[in-house]
Amino acid sequence: MSERPDETEKEPSHRLRFGAGLLVATLLVAGVGHRLLSTALGETARFGEDRRAVVSLRALTDLVARAGDGEAVRSVVAGFAAAQPRVAATRVVLFDGVSLEASTDPADSGDDAAPRRLKREEKELYDRGQRLRAAIETNRAEGGARKDEVEKERLADGSLSLAAPIEREGDVVGMVETRRVPPPPAPRPSLLTTLSYVVAPVVLFALLSLVLGDRRAPLGALAAILLAGTAWGYAAQSSAKLSRARTALEADVAASVKESAAKAQELLAALPAPAAPEAPADGAAPEAVPAPSPAPLDPAEWDSDAFRRPLGLSDGAGNVDAAKVAAAIASASATIRRSSLLLGAIALLLLGFVGLGGLAAFLRTLKTHRTAYAYVVPAMVGMVLLVFFPFVYGIVLSFTDQTIYNSNAPLTEIWVGFKNYVSILTDFRVARTAADGALVFNYQNFYWTLWVTIAWTVTNVTYGVVVGLILALILNTKGLALKPAYRVLLILPWAMPNYITALIWQGMFHQQFGVVNQFVQMLGMEPVSWFETPATSFFTAWATNGWLSFPFMMVISLGALQSIPADLYEAARVDGASRWQQFTAITLPSLKPALVPAIILSVVWTFNMFNIIYLVTAGQPAGSTEILITQSYKFAFQKYQYGYAAAYSTVIFGILLVYGVFQNRMTKATEAI
Amino acid sequence: MGLLTKKSRAGADEPPHFPMHVLLVLATLYAIYPVLWVLSIAFSGRQNLAIADVPPDPTFWDRLRTVVPWPAEVSLSNFRSLFADQPFATWVLNSAIVSIATTVVGVFLACTAAYAFSRFRFPGRRVGMMSFLVSQMFPGTLMLIPLYIILVKWLNLGSTRTGLVLAYSTTAIPFCVWMLKGYFDTIPRDLEEAALIDGASSATIFWRIVLPLAKPAVAVTALFSFMTGWNEFILAATLIDKEAMYTAPVGLRFFVGGFSQQWGYFAAGAVVVSIPVVALFLFLQKYLVSGLTAGSVKG
């Protein structure tokens, strides 16, 4: 009696609940929004810095390529570096002679001043150049862009180290490496502005709630509207900020292209007719051909990606391609819109949860049962993190086409919907007829593997039950000598770790040295290559698993047999029942309650018996003896098709789930009878 | 009198024991043959898979010699060089550390959760227990990819013992919880209620009354967790790629997997690794069996 008024007293008003809900929801929106915005601003700043760095490096490589070598290179490098305050050091490496041709690095002064041969401990530098050469050759051979032709590396202090190849007449002859000074810290969104997105709606809610009174519907609507406004406002603000930053960045990059181009032209003009004196020195160059006049610089090429493909956002003369930039900004804005919609929806759910009393009820439950929850939580946290979350994540993966090559891409980019499931489940081409009329099976097909798995499970469980039951019946004989000794020795196969069993049996089936073939030869037959045809290979795995699985059934049956009261048999004998009649009328029915669960369990175990197949046959030949679970492992860890393998595993889970539900119904039905 | 005659008649009715012994001896030979074979390779002092060399033109007796699991000479050299020349001691140590840590963590988590499931009625109890049961059906490979991503890529625990311990102890939890809950259910509540009246806290009751009473079940759970860690192969093979961090199963496979054919080391290692688990298993299998079947009957 005394508790009731107490509780109603504690019940907070709608105003307070929705106020709190709005506070939490706007905090979420503003907090996550702030974080996203500052990441995006940082990324934009980095993007700009990277592009300016690439522009200056590409300009310099073009210059160096035209300058040839020797003094000319050193003069353009020094001249260019002087005009680039953000470049800390530049080094030029030529492969011919393994030389450091030019360097503005303070470390390369005095005795180490360029030009000189590269030192042993500078192998890294030489390797980097060779890597670029190999990358370019690979990309050319493949006609694609797979390997970076401009290497970017962020050093520990946040500065960039870049390397680009020097190409002359299509050959990579060297490399220019630059180190930039550490970039200035990226602009951060102001915390005060973000906070105002929390304070304003909450204050507004407090004021308006005084007008509306403590009624649920209007207050809820008001809070929802304010929340939506907050989310929209923050998204619009972020969008504007980012688009301003991007526009400024493009203008800046275009200006730096123009500036570099001007400086490069100036330096080129200052060079004393570069190639002409070089040509005679180069013995291979015939006299008759005049030194090729180098192609004019193409500054529009410099603003490029890692594969030296121009981005095309500016024309090299300082003009920005407004349409392309606008398109890039629009796509960024669309991303912001999408994520803020999602964020808003989550925040709205949170608002509803807190505002409609869900949180209060939740906290009450937590408090009433706090002891129980305290006991469950440690195990639950572990299970959620390392069992349920991976499970859900695996199912999510099954809808993507993640492989080892794109495993860092966000899942939304590699989302393929049900494609994996469709390609697993709707491919019925299990077998085709070859030219000579023979059937050729496709061992990679899901239905082939399913059939193998079912055959595997049924034959193994049957064998286990039959052998186990027979041995149990014999062991159950009254007064049999040596019973405990037999029992212990017969359990041995179950007690051994099954990976050891699997490896032993795999050895026993070895074609030349295996003991099974010694037996075969003892009987005067030719040794069998067990792992070379599907049937014999399947037999090896089956024999292994049969050996290790009968003791379980034996122990279960023996326990059940021993609990059958002897009176039953005596009564049957008095009635003149034969031995067989006794077996079917008394023994089998009494075994059922113990055997049925054991069989159910053993079916699941055998269905998922990974170790035996994986270690004994490994699917040989050609994957024909894979079962579902080993096949999915192969897809994941040998073919690295993570998404496809996850879908495959989910199908296995589905089969087991259906089996579980079905078996539950069956046992319930049989129990009812 | 009537009873006696019946009994003697029943005795006469029993089938003769001799054929049964024949069958049992055959079955026992079948069961222990591969084990004997491992033993004889282990003690042969050679790396060969074959026990005896077959002469070029073998007679039946030469063939027979090759299938009798007795080494040509008994030697401990495989064991000696397994520990001296191969990093097997490290692998066994890794396995021992992982298994013991798994046992400690797993049993602690399972005991507390099972106690709550057994003694308290709270919202989420049924869902929690069912989810534990269903998790037993998750195919290992479905878990393997995400676990690999979480442990190796996100938590950076690839090739560490911690990663294995985390994975093993959580995968062992559901079975341990169900088993312990079944046992806790059989402990009468009177004692706890009496202690509660005496003013004992819930923690005191759990640690001082329930756990000591449940010692046998806790012991079986502990051994189950230990064996999970000791015998597990595929997760360790996937997560560990540094030879120094191998567990014993991965290490043993290393001897005879791929193109490696060091059967002597494998067999010696298998003997070393199997002895503790086989002993424990033979000692405790009846508890395991009752736990397994009880769980599935309830499910």
Domains of chain A: 444-611 (1.10.3720.10)
Q: Number of Cβ pairs closer than 8 Å across A and B?
A: 280
- Tens of pLDDT along A306-323? 888 888 888 777 788 888
| A629 contact residues in B (CB cutoff 8 A) | 139-141
Q: How far is A431 from chain B (nearest CA, A)?
A: 27
Cβ–Cβ under 8 Å, residues A59 and A299:
yes
ipTM value > 0.90: no
Query: Residue B289: pLDDT band by 50, 70, 90 thresholds?
Result: low
Closest CB to B170 among A382, A495, A646? A382
A139-153, A189-203, A548-562: least confident range: A139-153
- Tens of pLDDT along A551-609? 888 888 888 888 888 888 888 888 888 888 888 888 888 888 878 878 888 888 899 88
- Return the closest-CA partner of residue A311 out of A325, A297, A326, A295: A325
| B210 contact residues in A (CB cutoff 8 A) | none
- In angstroms, the CA A443 to CA A445 distance is 5
DSSP string, chain B: -HHHHHHHHHHHHSPPHHHHHHHHHHHHHHHHHHHHHHHHHHTTTS--SSSSPPPSS--HHHHHHHHS---SS---HHHHHHHHTSTHHHHHHHHHHHHHHHHHHHHHHHHHHHHHHHH---TTHHHHHHHHHHHTTS-HHHHHHHHHIIIIIIS--TT-HHHHHHHHHHHHHHHHHHHHHHHHHHS-SHHHHHHHHTT--HHHIIIIIIHHHTHHHHHHHHHHHHHHHHH--HHHHHH---GGG--HHHHHHHHHSTT---HHHHHHHHHHHHHHHHHHHHHHHHHHHHHHHHHHHH-
Which has the higher per-residue pLDDT, A592 or B92?
Answer: B92
**Cα three-residue angle B200-B204-B206, rounded to 5 degrees:** 120
Q: Do residue B141 and residue A645 have CB atoms under 8 angstroms apart?
A: yes
Q: Is the pLDDT of residue A280 over 80?
A: no
> Between residues 122 and 161 of chain B, which touch chain A (CB distance below 8 Å)?
122-123, 125, 128, 131-132, 134-135, 137-147, 149-150, 153
Cβ–Cβ under 8 Å, residues B139 and A656:
yes
Q: Cα-atom radius of gyration of chain A, to the nearest Å?
A: 38
Residue A92: strand pairing partners: A102, A176
Most confident option among A78-82, A424-428, B97-101, B254-258: B97-101
pLDDT at A293: 55
- In angstroms, the CA A226 to CA B134 distance is 43
- Return the closest-CA partner of residue A549 out of A659, A465, A458: A465
pLDDT at A529: 85
**Which positions ≥6 away from A604 have C-beta within 8 Å?**
A656, A659, B137
Q: Do residue B137 and residue A388 have CB atoms under 8 angstroms apart?
A: no
- In angstroms, the CA A231 to CA A134 distance is 50
Closest CB to A629 among B27, B60, B140? B140
DSSP string, A338-398: HHHHHHHHHHHHHHHHHHTTHHHHHHHHHHHTHHHHHHHHHHHHHHIIIIIHHHHHHHHHT
| B66 contact residues in A (CB cutoff 8 A) | 515, 518
DSSP state of A99: E
Closest CB to B122 among A369, A495, A500? A369
Q: Is the pLDDT of residue A275 over 70?
A: no
Q: Do residue B17 and residue A480 have CB atoms under 8 angstroms apart?
A: yes
Q: How far is B139 from chain A (nearest CA, A)?
A: 6
Determine contact: B285 vs chain A, CB below 8 A: yes
The token pair that represents A151 in the structure block: 């290497």
> Between residues 73 and 132 of chain B, which touch chain A (CB distance below 8 Å)?
108-110, 112-113, 115-117, 119-123, 125, 128, 131-132
pLDDT at B103: 92
Per the document, the length of chain A is: 673
- Averaged pLDDT, B240-269: 85
Cβ–Cβ under 8 Å, residues B239 and B164:
yes
- Averaged pLDDT, B119-148: 83
Superfamily of segment(s) B87-298: MetI-like (1.10.3720.10)
pLDDT at A156: 78
Question: Other C-beta atoms within 10 Å of A356: how many?
Answer: 16
Determine contact: B60 vs chain A, CB below 8 A: yes
Query: Residue A294: pLDDT band by 50, 70, 90 thresholds?
Result: low
Which of A477, A518, A582, A620 should one mutate to test binding to chain B, selecting the residue with the greatest count of B CBs within 10 A?
A518
The token pair that represents A223 in the structure block: 């809070």
Q: Do residue A387 and residue B138 have CB atoms under 8 angstroms apart?
A: yes
Q: How far apart are the first and last CA of chain B?
A: 49
Q: Where are the domains of chain B?
A: 17-75, 87-298
Map tokens 């509207």 to a residue. A225
Closest CB to A504 among B34, B64, B137? B34
